[in-house]
Amino acid sequence: MKTINDFNFENKKALIRVDFNVPLDADFNVTDTTRIEAAKASIIKVLEDGGSAILMSHLGRPKGEKNKDLSLGHICKTVSEIIGVQVKFSETCVGDAAEKVAADLKPGEVLLLENLRFHNEETKGDKNFAEQLSKLGDVYINDAFGTAHRAHASTTVVAQFFEGNKCFGYLLAKEIEAIEKVMQTGEKPVLAILGGAKVSSKITIIENILDKVDHLIIGGGMTYTFIKAQGGQVGDSICEDDKMPLAMEILKQAEAKGVQIHIPVDVLAADDFSNNANTQVVDVDKIPDGWQGLDAGPKTLENFKEVILKSKTILWNGPVGVFEMDSFDKGTIAIGNFIDESTKNGAFSLVGGGDSVAAVKQFGFENKVSYVSTGGGAMLESLEGKTLPGIAAIIG
Ligand code: AMP
């Protein structure tokens, strides 16, 4: 399979699907430029080869209608500053006008197309719309991991019009490599730390991951379903009674597969789901009625530390406590610190999926782990073992 480095973009127009779905403030300033910076390397490669870049993305959820507030024109200035080139803007992403500006692009120039999702055809994966997009470029680069799990026109369908002339950008390639490191090629022992609120939202990941890891830490709100299933008292902690048989099945499967499961032994319990609640540390299976476990306890963190420090490959998905409240963020911060230490000792650590990235950013761990995934849903689906359509369209 060809990578972006196998292409020379001299005098070529690269149609690049980027993820510029960035947050804007009330004055339409970009408040977090991470995604634009993440796309920079691929764009620069095209320009340095002597090609031109046509950038396409969605912004927000305009649901197939023009919406001034969601125009990508608002971010043109920021993209220009980050790329270091004055970026041109096309007020439409398909049709004669877009084709004309694209055709007129000179080597070294960059064009940003208007929000793809102003057209319903984008999310429907409409073939005709994808074909119109394909007319704009000679080579297709997909560098948008955040939408790689969607079979949309610009992320998947368009690739069929670029036979032999399509590849992943650097960002998407890095994401794929990071997932492979954890799921296939990682140095042992491989550890997955799964936290978050509910077993039900993580079940497919747990089932898939049991074949890949040596150790599995289960933390956060999921803990209590496992503890109650084994006969423990969880008080008022979040618990999915209907998932208790599943929890027992997971424990059985783990044993059969030789995966060591690590579950909290003590918790910081609170008498209310509130930052100002009264708290006490109690055994995880003896939480009194009226109390709920909202963070990992000290013995638990000692146990988790030992596993994290001896692991060589670490995946972290989901906080081990209600990290949004500072009374219950200590466990999640401790996990981040242990992963930091393990990474410094040579482990490969990947954080991704759902809310995990928010927690990691909030506590400043993003530069301490080996890789922070840029795609919440796409990473979750990868961890569930699904082949993402955006990736399959390039490989196939
Ligand atoms: P997820 O999106 O599944 O990774 O879940 C993240 C959410 O889980 C965060 O909003 C946390 O506040 C929540 N969470 C973590 N631990 C607990 C807990 N013990 N009780 C309730 N919610 C929790």
pLDDT by 10s per residue, the chain, length 396: 778 999 999 999 999 999 999 999 999 999 999 899 999 999 999 999 999 999 999 999 999 999 999 999 999 999 999 999 999 999 999 999 999 999 999 999 999 999 999 999 999 999 999 999 999 999 999 999 999 999 999 999 999 999 999 999 999 999 999 999 999 889 999 999 999 898 888 888 999 999 999 999 999 999 999 999 999 999 999 999 999 999 999 999 999 999 999 999 999 999 999 999 999 999 999 999 999 999 999 999 999 999 999 999 999 999 999 999 999 999 999 999 999 999 999 999 999 887 777 888 889 998 899 999 988 889 989 999 999 999 999 997
Q: Considering only CA atoms, which residue is closest to atom 13 of ligand 1? A: 197
Could you give the count of Cα atoms lying within 13 Å of 230 in the half-sphere of its Cβ?
Answer: 15
* 61 part of the active site: no
Spatial distance between the Cα atoms of 396 and 386, rounded to a whole number of angstroms: 15
Q: What is the CA radius of gyration of the chain?
A: 23
Q: Is the CB of 267 under 6 A from ligand 1?
A: no
Q: Is the CB of 196 under 6 A from ligand 1?
A: yes
Spatial distance between the Cα atoms of 112 and 135, rounded to a whole number of angstroms: 15
Q: Is the CB of 352 under 6 A from ligand 1?
A: no
- Please report the pLDDT score of residue 375 as a whole number: 82
Nearest Cα to 267, choosing from 222, 314, 307?
222
Nearest Cα to 22, choosing from 59, 65, 57, 55?
59
Taking a C-beta distance cutoff of 8 angstroms, is the pair 45, 9 a contact? yes
Beta pairing partners, 24:
30
> In the chain, what's the furthest Cα-to-Cα distance?
71
Dihedral, CA of residue 108, residue 109, residue 115 and residue 120, to nearest 10:
-80
Q: Is the CB of 340 under 6 A from ligand 1?
A: no
Ligand 1 atom with least separation from CA of 223: 19
Q: At 321, is the secondary structure helix, strand, or coil? A: coil
Q: Considering only CA atoms, which residue is closest to atom 3 of ligand 1? A: 196
Q: At 377, is the secondary structure helix, strand, or coil? A: helix
* 35 part of the active site: yes
- Please report the pLDDT score of residue 238 as a whole number: 97
Nearest Cα to 53, choosing from 91, 101, 96, 97?
101
Spatial distance between the Cα atoms of 147 and 276, rounded to a whole number of angstroms: 39
Nearest Cα to 230, choosing from 194, 263, 272, 275?
263
Q: Considering only CA atoms, which residue is closest to atom 11 of ligand 1? A: 322
Instruction: Give, in degrees to the nearest 5, the angle at Cα 112 between 108 and 115.
Output: 165
- Please report the pLDDT score of residue 357 as a whole number: 79
Q: Is the CB of 322 under 6 A from ligand 1?
A: yes
Site to probe by mutation for ligand 1, drawn from 225, 355, 373 as the one with most ligand atoms within 8 Å of Cβ, is: 355
Q: Is 95 left (phi over 0), alpha (psi -120 to 50) or beta?
A: left
- Please report the pLDDT score of residue 347 as a whole number: 98
Spatial distance between the Cα atoms of 141 and 132, rounded to a whole number of angstroms: 16
Spatial distance between the Cα atoms of 256 and 242, rounded to a whole number of angstroms: 23
Taking a C-beta distance cutoff of 8 angstroms, is the pair 290, 282 a contact? no
Helix (H) or strand (E) holding 38: helix 34-49
- Please report the pLDDT score of residue 155 as a whole number: 98
Burial of 59 from C-beta contacts in 10 A (0-12 / 13-18 / 19+): buried
Instruction: Give, in degrees to the nearest 5, the angle at Cα 318 between 299 and 214.
Output: 70
CA of 379 to the centre of ligand 1 (A): 18
Q: Is the CB of 293 under 6 A from ligand 1?
A: yes
Beta pairing partners, 13:
52
Taking a C-beta distance cutoff of 8 angstroms, is the pair 197, 375 a contact? no
Q: At 350, is the secondary structure helix, strand, or coil? A: strand
* 100 part of the active site: no
Ligand 1 atom with least separation from CA of 202: 3
- Please report the pLDDT score of residue 108 as a whole number: 98
Q: Considering only CA atoms, which residue is closest to atom 10 of ligand 1? A: 322
Polymer length in residues for the chain: 396
Which of 77, 198, 310, 386 is an active site residue? 198
Q: Which two tokens stand for residue 350?
A: 């990947």
Nearest Cα to 345, choosing from 312, 306, 314?
312
First to last CA, the chain: 9
Taking a C-beta distance cutoff of 8 angstroms, is the pair 175, 374 a contact? yes
Which of 35, 40, 88, 166 is an active site residue? 35
Q: Is the CB of 220 under 6 A from ligand 1?
A: yes
Spatial distance between the Cα atoms of 159 and 164, rounded to a whole number of angstroms: 10
* 198 part of the active site: yes
